[in-house]
Amino acid sequence: MTPVQWEQQMRQDGKTAPSDLQLKIVLHGTRPPLWRRLVLPSDTSLGTLHDAIQVAFGWHGGHLHLFTDEFGRGYGDAARLSDIDLGFGRGVGHEGATALGDVLAEEGARLRYVYDFGDDWEHRITLEKTLPRPVGAERTVRCVGGRRADVPAEDIGGVWGLAGVLECLDAPDGAGDGPYGELVAELRAAGYDPAAFDRDGVTGRLARLMPDTVFGEAKPSAGGQAGRGGVRRLTAEDVASCTCGQCRVGDPVDAGVDEPDEDVPVLRPVTLASQEDLVAAVRGVPLFDAALRLVAWCREGRQVTAARVLRPALAREAVEELHLWKLAGDESPYADAVARARALKSLRSAKDVAVLDDPWWLAVDGGMITISGGRAWGGAATDFADENLLEFWAATLGDLLEEIGETGVLDGWHGELGELTAEIADGLVGLLYDAPDDVWVDVDDLRAKAAEVVANGPEFDLYQALFTASFQGLGEGLALLGAVEYEPGDGDDSAEEALRTLLNAMSGQEMGGGSRTPSAASDRSRDDKCGHRMRLTPLGRYGLRAYLLECGVPAPLLGEYAKADAGTLLQGLQNYSPEEMRREVEGWLAHRSAADAAVGLLDACAGDGPEAAAKRAVAQLVLAGLDDPRALRVLRKAADSDVQGCRQVAATTLGAHPGAAARVDPARAEEAGLWLLIDGLSILAGAQESEEMVQGFLENWNTAPEELEQRVDELWRVEHPATAHVLAELGEGLRGVDKRLAKRMRTAANKAHSRR
């Protein structure tokens, strides 16, 4: 049977036909990021993906390699890896017999590929999209995007060695090439441009690959295993193949690929501006506008120096002709025509002009301008239209945030202080993103909140000064890219200068000929600098969301579940605020009838375990808003069914409905309510701290302790699989609330255990 015949047969049999997978592959640790976007058949093997990566990044294939999936399982050339201890108890899977779609089973799934166990070139692979492939369409491997040139050589020490080579390339000829001198000389002679990316060339080389076919389940169903933010959870099949004995269905994946930390906050869902508006906003950013004008100006080629910048005469011409001087502030010498002419006349290097240097390197590093043969060549205008331009802007913002995460916000501040500014900036990014539209984030408000919980003193003063300086540095950097509106505060000195003054005072040093006590410096840092504030622009919200998603942080969109099935909706709505939930549900209901909505929601209520219980908790809230007679008929039918979970949710919803037509036997509604109480508490049972579950119990039953004791005799009879466990947890947690009630709960737990 040919692949086409097999594909047609699968569709006739109602199975999922093979599709194409769009992967983004990032060479981890590169600055700016070096990445490729490849499209491969879902039913090809990991071996084909290995070949594609080798071609796409310019590797030569002389070293060992290894894939690691999100479950910590390894895949590679089993024969070559058999004598190496890689830490996989069950050995390494054969990459040639493993379908790509089986490993990357849902959008957002990730894979790690390491090439050369000495240099450790680590590639992070993310499944971005699953693309339908028409029956009979050619199975190909192709490149649809990327950034930066191929790695120029192997065996150079990994990403750190690559950074050293690129630094030498930027230096004047023969200066400081060190151990890379011969390679750097060869690259210069060949006209190697690290910012250049030849998509057509990569695709041409990939066209010579013949993707194999792995006859198996090429694209297994996601089955709702990805929760909000794309966190994957173990399936029954995964647990069956596990040898540790500790894994359970529904547990989050303990991956070989980095996953979000358990304490990563789920950010509020947001709305984004249209792509048309976002592209227009990018073009309106002065720095990007200047870069695009430079690209057009270099279309026919402009001479550059060995340092890869414009020759001085051309630099003067560019500043004047393209009005780049407008990027400078009002206090800059370039703002005045006479002063500008004087400054340009004395210009010795293009690097000395910030209004040219910033947009120049933005264009060069981003591949908008390529340098070869001693000339700078601007790309075609179509290369920077719409989606490409927006993607380039988002990547530039991501580069800035990654650099801040590595080195901090302030130039020249390294070590512990640099790490602190990086941590502060990271927290500020989250605050900015979580702030409602058009709301300013004010540094004074944040400092005041900190002062409420932390005692004053030298260390607190230092942190406040660091916080203000970090706020200012982040605001200025984001404003340069149009991501925020930034308003600096009052005061004579910058926040960084105030920080230096404080540090000097704390160490007993003097600055500027005067002396200041730590107390005086503290007063200055608190009082002189006030009013710094910033707020996200629509473009900034788009860019921050792209960056957060890249980092694995859940950042949902309002309306993203409009066409999703009910199970996905219920899973996604967890942790939404009431208003956000209302808006999301309204959009979801607009795409289906009330009866269909009720059927889907109730079907999603079936199942065991905490994940199913969480869905039922949300389903009650959604179903309570359905007032359509057809939906109520569905509820009445479900209330009479034998399906656990569905029956209780339907009965409880009907029991709380004000309409006479929706009445249900009060005893049945009460029984269902008790079952759902245990069900809801089972989500929290087993947590490290039992206070949360106790609080949930008390909030569900707003009654006096005496009445709660009466409920104990009813609760232990509830036929829920988690009844005994929940009561035992409550018995422990209520010790500090009511010892007598806690004892009754433990007794009830024993009764529930004995009944099983």
Q: pLDDT at residue 240 above 70?
A: no
- pLDDT single digits (tens) 27-43: 987 877 788 989 999 99
Q: Coil, strand or helix: which one is 76?
A: strand
Angle between the N-to-C axes of helices 705-715 and 739-755, in degrees from 0 to 180, rounded to the nearest 10? 10
- pLDDT single digits (tens) 667-711: 888 889 889 988 888 887 654 455 666 666 666 654 455 555 667
Task: Tell me how many degrees the CA angle 600-601-607 measures, rounded to the nearest 5.
Answer: 100
Which CATH superfamily includes the segment(s) 3-148+197-206? Answer: MM3350-like (3.10.290.30)
Sign of CA dihedral 627, 566, 264, 32: negative
Average pLDDT over residues 617-643: 91
- For the chain, how many residues are written? 756
Residue-level pLDDT at 451? 72
Containing H/E element for 112? strand 110-115
In this structure, the number of other CB atoms found within 10 A of the CB of residue 630 comes to: 14
Q: Distance from CA of residue 15 to its chain's centroid?
A: 32
Residue-level pLDDT at 2? 45
Q: pLDDT at residue 286 above 50?
A: yes
Phi, psi dihedral angles at 376 (to 5 degrees): -100, 130
Tokens 């909505």: give the residue: 597
**Which residue has better confidence, 40 or 222?**
40
Residue 346 burial by Cβ neighbours in a 10 Å radius (0-12, 13-18, 19+)? exposed
| Contact predicate 747/734, CB 8 Å | no
Q: How confident is the model at residue 141 (pLDDT cuts 50, 70, 90)?
A: very high
Phi, psi dihedral angles at 99 (to 5 degrees): -70, 140
Structure tokens that stand for 429 in this block: 């990014």
Residue 705 CA: distances (Å) to CA of 16, 411, 725:
55, 60, 21
Residue 157 CA: distances (Å) to CA of 186, 288, 355:
18, 34, 36
Residue 507 CA: distances (Å) to CA of 155, 415, 470, 519, 529:
46, 17, 21, 12, 21
In the DSSP assignment, the letter for residue 39 is E
Residue-level pLDDT at 618? 93
Long-range contacts of 251-256 (CB under 8 A, 24+ apart): 253/70, 253/71, 254/71, 254/72, 255/69, 255/70, 255/71, 255/72, 255/110, 256/68, 256/69, 256/70, 256/71, 256/72, 256/73, 256/74, 256/112
Q: Cα(first)–Cα(last) distance of the chain, in Å?
A: 54
Q: pLDDT at residue 386 above 60?
A: yes
Residue-level pLDDT at 661? 52
Structure tokens that stand for 571 in this block: 């899973």
Q: pLDDT at residue 514 above 50?
A: no
Q: How far apart are CA 22 and CA 617, in angstroms?
A: 35
Q: How far apart are CA 548 and CA 552, in angstroms?
A: 6
Q: What DSSP string describes 381-437? A: GGGGSTHHHHHHHHHHHHHHHHHHHHH-SSTT--HHHHHHHHHHHHHHHHHHHHSPT
Residue-level pLDDT at 33? 77
Q: How far apart are CA 117 and CA 125, in angstroms?
A: 18
Phi, psi dihedral angles at 252 (to 5 degrees): -65, 150
Q: What is the residue type of 234? A: L
Cis bond leading into 269, ω under 30°? no
Q: How far apart are CA 659 and CA 656, in angstroms?
A: 9
- CA-wise closest residue to 127 among 38, 50, 212, 44: 38
Tokens 């957002």: give the residue: 108
Q: How far apart are CA 459 and CA 503, in angstroms?
A: 10
Residue-level pLDDT at 708? 59
| Beta partners for residue 39, in sequence order | 22, 142
Mean pLDDT, the chain, integer: 78
- Residue 497's contacts (CB-CB under 8 Å, 6 or more residues apart) are none
Average pLDDT over residues 155-170: 86
Average pLDDT over residues 194-207: 86
Containing H/E element for 110? strand 110-115
Long-range contacts of 403-406 (CB under 8 A, 24+ apart): 403/31, 404/474, 404/477, 406/31
Q: How far apart are CA 104 and CA 109, in angstroms?
A: 5
**Which residue has better confidence, 643 or 18?**
643
- Residue 621's contacts (CB-CB under 8 Å, 6 or more residues apart) are 581
Structure tokens that stand for 196 in this block: 């250049």
**Which residue has better confidence, 374 or 29?**
374
| Beta partners for residue 304, in sequence order | 310
**Which residue has better confidence, 17 or 497?**
497
Q: What DSSP string describes 114-157? A: EE-TTT-EEEEEEEEEEE---TT-----EEEEEESPPPS-SSS-
**Max Cα distance, the chain (Å):** 94
Q: How far apart are CA 105 and CA 726, in angstroms?
A: 35
Q: Coil, strand or helix: which one is 310?
A: strand
Q: How far apart are CA 329 and CA 490, in angstroms?
A: 17
- CA-wise closest residue to 50 among 113, 97, 1: 113
Q: pLDDT at residue 626 above 80?
A: yes
Structure tokens that stand for 327 in this block: 């990027």
- pLDDT single digits (tens) 735-747: 777 788 788 888 8
- pLDDT single digits (tens) 396-429: 898 888 778 767 777 655 556 767 788 888 888 8
Task: Tell me how many degrees the CA angle 634-636-642 measures, rounded to the nearest 5.
Answer: 95
Q: Distance from CA of residue 268 to its chain's centroid?
A: 14
- According to DSSP, the β-strands at 369-372 and 375-378 are antiparallel
- CA-wise closest residue to 25 among 85, 114, 157: 114
Please, where in the chain does CATH 3.10.290.30 lie? 3-148+197-206
